[in-house]
Amino acid sequence: MLRRIPPSFALAVLGFGAFLLALAPMFAWYVGPRMTRTPADINVTSVLTGRGSYFDIDAETTLHDRTITLTQRILGDVHAGAGHDAAVWDVSTTIDTPKTLPLKDPRRSLQWTVERWVSDRRTNLPVHCCGETPSFDADAFLKFPFDVRKQTYRWWDSTFGASVPMRYSSTAKVLGHEGYLFTGSVQPTRTATREVPGVIVGLPKQGQVLAEQWYSNARIALVVDQRTGEIIDVSIAPKVTLRQPGGKRDEVTLLRSERLAMTDSAHRVVVDRAVADSRMLRLVGTTLPATAAGVGAPLAAVGLAMLLIRGRSSLQPLEPPPGLATRTERVRSTRFAMRVRKS
């Protein structure tokens, strides 16, 4: 049967198998690594909510057991980071109370910060360019590096103004998608000074004082997608207080919550994005190379075998037809008889 197969077909099978074998390492070593890049064009909004306390300026007192909403908007600036292979993200973070949230105006929120974070698209490390503010130093912030490991990472806390060691704790599932859970904390630390009326910090006889602002975070919990490094769940317990200059105790609570966590709708957005990105990276980095190699090797072997068998068959002597063999024997017999008569 193999001898009847046209040589062009055998060559086609061999060529296609060789093509797939060449395609496998290209996917694994060229296409895959070029897809493991932090996206530069991003437009994402995350919302955390919880119960807690905050200082109401109008009432000049701390209100307790109220809803606190933290909203973080991330917008990528593709043009700014193009020359540095960097992801430039403009980040707007607001903290709202039930009174300020309906206003939808960050200028009237309880707290509003605007930052520009710049990171290397491959390593996730900071890149100090493109108008970065503040200058941060960490290997994890709004996302972790690709191919997350079970180790300790330095996560940047903007309120703290420094990196926080985030230690691997366990695996955790968010909406059925499994990720790595990292936990950390911030002990009470003085982070700034603020000029406030002395009466607020227990110094009624003084007009304005430079009160010390202290920050702590009892528990930071982040669930991270292992392949992409995207954060799919966030839970924090911030506390911001004011103390007298050189004071040892908190005089007023500006913000406190035992737990601010992502809303269900925010979970759905980040999990869907992480699942889609993870599948794409797995397809290009693992599935396609393995499939190309698994299919290409047998095809190349079959095509080569067909060519070798055809080559061997072409070198074997051809057997004469039965009729031709009989006539040849008759001629030989006649010649032999003639020789005998002559002798």
Determine contact, residues 260/235, Cβ cutoff 8 Å.
Answer: yes
Helix (H, G, I), strand (E, B) or coil at 313: helix
Which among 284, 207, 263 has a CA at the least distance from the CA of 46?
A: 263
Is 320's pLDDT higher than 60? no
pLDDT, one tens digit per residue, over 44-97 is 999 999 999 999 988 889 999 999 999 999 999 999 998 888 999 999 999 999
pLDDT in tens, 102-126: 999 999 999 999 999 999 999 999 9
Q: What is the pLDDT of residue 176?
A: 94
Average pLDDT, the chain: 86
Of the pLDDT bands very low, low, confident and very high (cuts 50, 70, 90), residue 290 is: confident
Neighbour tally for 182: CB within 10 Å: 27
Query: Which pLDDT band, with edges at 50, 70 and 90, does 150 fall under?
Result: very high
Helices 288-315 and 7-26, packing angle to 10 deg: 150
What does pTM read for this prediction?
0.79
Mean pLDDT value of segment 227-232 = 95
